[in-house]
Structure 1
Amino acid sequence: MFLLLLIITHISLFASKSAEPKPIIPIVPQEMRQTKELPKDTERIFPSFVSIDEDPPKGRWPKLQNETLCNQRREAVKEAFLWAWNAYKRDAWGSDEINPISRTRNNWLLGQGCTIIDSISTMMIMELYDEVKLAHDWVEKDFQLYTGRSVSLFETSIRILAGLISAYDLTGDELYLDKAEKLGDVIITNFESNKKYSIPSNSISLRKPTRSPSYEERKKKIYEDIEDKETYHKSSLPLLFTPKTPDDLGLNVTQLQQNDASIAEFGLWVEFVALSDRTGDPHYAFQALRALQSTLLARQSEKGIIPIYIEPSSGQFYQSCFSIGAAGDSFYEYLIKEHIYTEQHEIRLGRTIIKGQNNGDKYDHNLNSKKRNNKSNKIKNPKQNIEIESLGQHWVDVMMAFKKREIIRNKQSLDLKSSENVKVKKPLHWINGTECTDNKWSHLACYSAGNAALGAFYLNNYSIPKFPKQQQYQNSQKQINKGNINSINADEYEQVPTTTDQQILASLFQLGVDLGDTCYAMYAYSPSGLAGEFINMKAIGDNKEYERQDMNSNINKIDKVNKKQNEVFSMNEDNSYVNKQNNYDDEGYLIDDAIVKQGDGQNILRPEVVESLFYLYRTTGDTKYQEYAWNIFQSFQKQSRLPDSSKQSLNKQINKNMVSETDIRENPDQKDQELMGFTSLSNVNTNKPSRQDNMPSFFLAETLKYLYLTFCDANEVIPLDQWVFTTEAHPIALRKYLKKRNFS
């Protein structure tokens, strides 16, 4: 029997306090809360709730500058949210998403009310309590969970499950936890179906699981598995432990298996550990962490390289693709976020320490490295007792593997403004990954800029890591910041010291800053002010040969690239950029020599760039990131917002061949009403992009939330030392701020 033991280190007990906990966001109206009386007996596990009664340490987070301006910008973002939300309420209430031009419903997630649940945390942060009440009533009365149909495990988990857990944390309403637990029971059956590795299929059947024994008996059985019951009753914190008989807690739903899986699809331990903490049921965390363990034990070609495709039946990677973007993104993102959530140095899954691959080779970690006995490191079966090194360390290893694949443009590339409104010439940075990335840098990969900054900032005790005793390098950085890039040697700039913990974290933080500039440039250099899905890096040039390491043969490979002619860009007074030539050819527009092709010019209102700008602002306090975020918001308003004052009717849209008559058969009387909401764009490579007909729920859940938070007081609204964001931007309170109910 595979034993999973999570030892929580440095547990601090919360003393009972007579004063009410201080909320981080405004107090939720009492009528929005629902609580249930619990049995008086103590021989059962208990749910937990959020109790935050302290302020962040002074000086940790930036103080809000120019409060009047920030207030105005927050109100503008809130108004945009309501414009999108009201379009959904009017034309697609209860469906997953809205097609705002045809004013039709989109139930791609089988009608789980995706936009409603995805938006609750945003509305709580924006203090839109009337709208939260509408969402609450729908979840209570109309949320249909057991449809019996198959749906994406990943999308259901990040949007619906995480949305419900976050709603519970922000409101204290147990309705959301009850729904989350029921949904978690369905999803976790996919993990259970793989008895050996817990690596699931990405397709789940929404069928009601059968419980044996009864629910209350099951809670008591879980309680019986707690070895140290005295500690459990003394601690206000939830206890995460190994169930002695995990197979007996199975929920008896057979799920389909598949031959392959991407690691992002099941890298959902933030959601499932959070669910275990709040319900007191360790089963969810057990399964999710065993899938994580199986992945970390799979054979790696070198330290930190965790390819994105794995075979569930063997627990081994079956392709060598190592990409920071799609199919791997949230897995890498959650390594550091779970570390932050638990505030642990190690997650232990047994006795021996696995520091890399499972073939006996022992990698020497730079952080917290110690000489350890290597006798037990040959692990062939993940059911053996093992111990996984700190998830934060695994994150460092992965990010350093990506850092090795960073490419820096060796010339004056990005023409961006600093916080002092001074033009700064900076190199273009991106991660080339392996051959599977096809030399493209994706919008989706831009989450990594904020993730790198957040992780390095956290691991350096909530401070920006510096390069110690590297005066020459620091002088070069100063020259770069002044825009004097020609005065330094390119090789000196690219050579980042990596000999100490501090230097490693400093290089990762700088990687986040540099990637953030490149990602913002995808917007700043676009004719429409909005970014496309990809930058094609094959055009990067100066006939310079860039060296990268091929992971298959572990030998150096040379990428030869051809030079492209630069186009000339100039700065407008509003910090936006225009192309002086205004003659975009069939290929697209240029960022220096990197080209955004026509086929890559789609914009679907993605959040990753504004997400990273939010993290970069929170960690640096540099107001230029607020300006960057505001520029992007204005471009969304200009290009993606459907008209209000113009009273543009659906008839006009039909005449322009934007929608067909068949799109409005369900609502024939709505043809002359104005359009509302925001919509995706099919091509950002022109000044007036053509519009598509969809508004993804993540635009409300993520994009507008991160824009709003960028102009909030970082010490008062969702401080990052008290909350962690899921990959769908749902804030979840850190584990140390949970308190068991019935604890006094």
Structure 2
Amino acid sequence: MYFHTFHLFITVAYLGTLTEEALNIFKKPLDRLELKYGFFPEQLRIQMLEEAKKMFYFGYDSYMEHAFPLDELNPIKCSGRGPDYNNPSNININDILGDYCLTLVDSLTTLAVIGNVSEFQHAVAQVIQHVNFDKDNIVQVFEVNIRVLGALISTHLLMTDPEQPFGNLSPPWYDGELLHLAHDLASRLLPAFEGSSTGIPYPRVNLRQGLPPYSASETCTAGAGSLVVEFGVLSRLLGDPVYEGYARRANKALWNLRDNTTGLLGNTIDASSGKWLGRLSGLGAGLDSFYEYLLKSYILFGEHEDYEMFSEAYSKIKQYMRKGYAI
């Protein structure tokens, strides 16, 4: 989940809400392995830095040459691809490829961090020119949130940060266009929440038409409960509590459905009925980022309820998870 992990630290740095109390949760003595392997020698760090840049540019340059403005590069055919219009049920492709220059949007913050200001500004201009979310495409709310919405918000914050920690990224012509795109996209995701009587969002929306007829209601805990960071930052940037409110409502709905005995959550749930469909609990796919976002949200916004939920979940995981309990 490296996309939204990186975006979190950008938003923390910009919003300045990281408190001493929030930092204290990370303070602990280093163990033997951390002392031995917890850092890179400077020469190795520089070597790995250059290797990472080479890998990024290989992928980015290949995408821009062979695939842009489609969503991603098909490495076998060396050509671009977007949604699979011939097979709408192909969710492996259609859940995230929505015809909005996905790879370019996904690359914006990396270009900033590695210090390529000219290409960063060029990429921002390309996004403003080519990205449009008024598409008759069904996409997954969770994936679009962490990869597209998070990238747009983070890039906007980088350009408008008065301290400019990665250099002078903001071109004179920038006028908040990425924030406007983020606002538009988030509004197109809201039908997933508005159509749910439980507060748990449906997993997919049509970007143009809203909640699809006969939409599947099975969603995973992570997908429904990992939205508050991006939605919360957007609400605060816009001065509109609606987005954060829906994301927090989803978290509380999931939390209130945890098992009465173990306090654990299942991995899949019916958004329309609130009934667990997958009763196995764990820390892997389907659950992982729900816990992650509780802690990140507390660090970012300072809401104690988030930390209380995280702490209780952490305690129950340590108590029951090694024994293989289901809910």
TM-score with structure 2 setting the length: 0.75
From 256, 272, 281, give the equivalent of 1:322: 281
Q: Deviations over 1:542-598 (max 9, x none)?
A: xxxxxx25435xxxxxxxxxxxxxxxxxxxxxxxxxxxxxxxxxxxxxxxxxxxxxx
Which position in structure 1 is the counterpart of 2:315? 400
Partners in 2 of 1:111 and 1:289 — Cα distance? Answer: 29
Contact residue 301 and residue 551 of structure 1 kept, 8 A? no
Which position in structure 2 is the counterpart of 1:156? 144
Read off the aligned partner of 1:298 and give its amino acid letter.
Answer: L
Runs of 4+ in 1 over 6 A off after TM superposition: 60-65
SS at match of 1:200: coil
Partners in 1 of 2:193 and 2:294 — Cα distance? Answer: 19
Partners in 2 of 1:321 and 1:93 — Cα distance? Answer: 41
Partners in 1 of 2:150 and 2:193 — Cα distance? Answer: 17
Q: Does 1:71 align with 2:30?
A: no
Contact residue 101 and residue 130 of structure 2 kept, 8 A? no
Read off the aligned partner of 2:317 and give its amino acid letter.
Answer: F
Which position in structure 1 is the counterpart of 2:198? 197
Partners in 2 of 1:259 and 1:92 — Cα distance? Answer: 33
Q: Does 1:333 align with 2:292?
A: yes
Q: Does 1:50 align with 2:9?
A: no
Report matched runs for 1:7-406 at 5 Å.
50=14, 66-107=41-82, 108=93, 109-172=97-160, 174-194=176-196, 196-207=197-208, 253-256=210-213, 257-267=215-225, 268-345=227-304, 390-404=305-319
Contact residue 205 and residue 211 of structure 2 kept, 8 A? no
List alignment gaps of at least 5 residues for structure 1.
Answer: 1-23, 26-48, 209-252, 346-389, 408-547, 553-744
How far is 1:51 from its partner?
A: 6.1
Q: Deviations over 1:120-149 (max 9, x none)?
A: 111111112222122211211111211122
Q: Deviations over 1:6-28 (max 9, x none)?
A: xxxxxxxxxxxxxxxxxx99xxx
Q: Percent same amino acid among aligned pairs?
A: 27
Greater relative contact order (CA < 8 Å, ≥ 6 in sequence): 1
Which position in structure 1 is the counterpart of 2:165? none
How far is 1:52 from its partner?
A: 5.7
Partners in 2 of 1:69 and 1:271 — Cα distance? Answer: 34
Contact residue 197 and residue 290 of structure 1 kept, 8 A? no
Read off the aligned partner of 2:106 and give its amino acid letter.
Answer: D
Read off the aligned partner of 2:294 and give its amino acid letter.
Answer: L
Contact residue 235 and residue 242 of structure 2 kept, 8 A? yes
Contact residue 198 and residue 274 of structure 2 kept, 8 A? yes
Q: 1:284 to 1:179 in 2, by over 3 A?
A: same
Contact residue 87 and residue 100 of structure 1 kept, 8 A? no
Q: 1:51 to 1:406 in 2, by over 3 A?
A: closer
Read off the aligned partner of 2:326 and give its amino acid letter.
Answer: M
Partners in 1 of 2:156 and 2:308 — Cα distance? Answer: 31
Partners in 2 of 1:184 and 1:399 — Cα distance? Answer: 30
Read off the aligned partner of 2:222 and give its amino acid letter.
Answer: A
Partners in 1 of 2:241 and 2:17 — Cα distance? Answer: 26
Which position in structure 1 is the counterpart of 2:326? 551
Which position in structure 1 is the counterpart of 2:167? none
Q: Deviations over 1:199-250 (max 9, x none)?
A: 2221111117xxxxxxxxxxxxxxxxxxxxxxxxxxxxxxxxxxxxxxxxxx
Between Structure 1 and Structure 2, which shows a larger proportion of helix residues? 2
SS at match of 1:50: helix
Q: 1:178 to 1:144 in 2, by over 3 A?
A: same
Read off the aligned partner of 1:115 and give its amino acid letter.
Answer: T
Q: Deviations over 1:371-397 (max 9, x none)?
A: xxxxxxxxxxxxxxxxxxx22232233
Stretch moving more, 398-407 or 181-190: 398-407
Partners in 2 of 1:328 and 1:65 — Cα distance? Answer: 31
Partners in 2 of 1:273 and 1:116 — Cα distance? Answer: 24
Superposition RMSD in Å:
3.0
Read off the aligned partner of 1:188 and give its amino acid letter.
Answer: L
Partners in 1 of 2:315 and 2:15 — Cα distance? Answer: 36
Report matched runs for 1:426-445 at 5 Å.
none
Q: 1:263 to 1:68 in 2, by over 3 A?
A: same
Read off the aligned partner of 1:191 and give its amino acid letter.
Answer: F
Contact residue 152 and residue 181 of structure 2 kept, 8 A? yes
How far is 1:316 from its partner?
A: 3.4
Partners in 1 of 2:270 and 2:15 — Cα distance? Answer: 41
Q: Deviations over 1:624-644 (max 9, x none)?
A: xxxxxxxxxxxxxxxxxxxxx
Partners in 1 of 2:15 and 2:256 — Cα distance? Answer: 36
Partners in 2 of 1:319 and 1:68 — Cα distance? Answer: 48
Report matched runs for 1:307-706 at 5 Å.
307-345=266-304, 390-404=305-319, 548-551=323-326
List alignment gaps of at least 5 residues for structure 2.
Answer: 1-8, 29-34, 83-92, 161-173
Q: 1:198 to 1:129 in 2, by over 3 A?
A: same
Contact residue 139 and residue 205 of structure 2 kept, 8 A? yes
Aligned residues: 274
Contact residue 112 and residue 143 of structure 1 kept, 8 A? yes
SS at match of 1:261: strand
SS at match of 2:77: coil
Contact residue 67 and residue 80 of structure 2 kept, 8 A? yes
Q: Deviations over 1:336-381 (max 9, x none)?
A: 1111111232xxxxxxxxxxxxxxxxxxxxxxxxxxxxxxxxxxxx
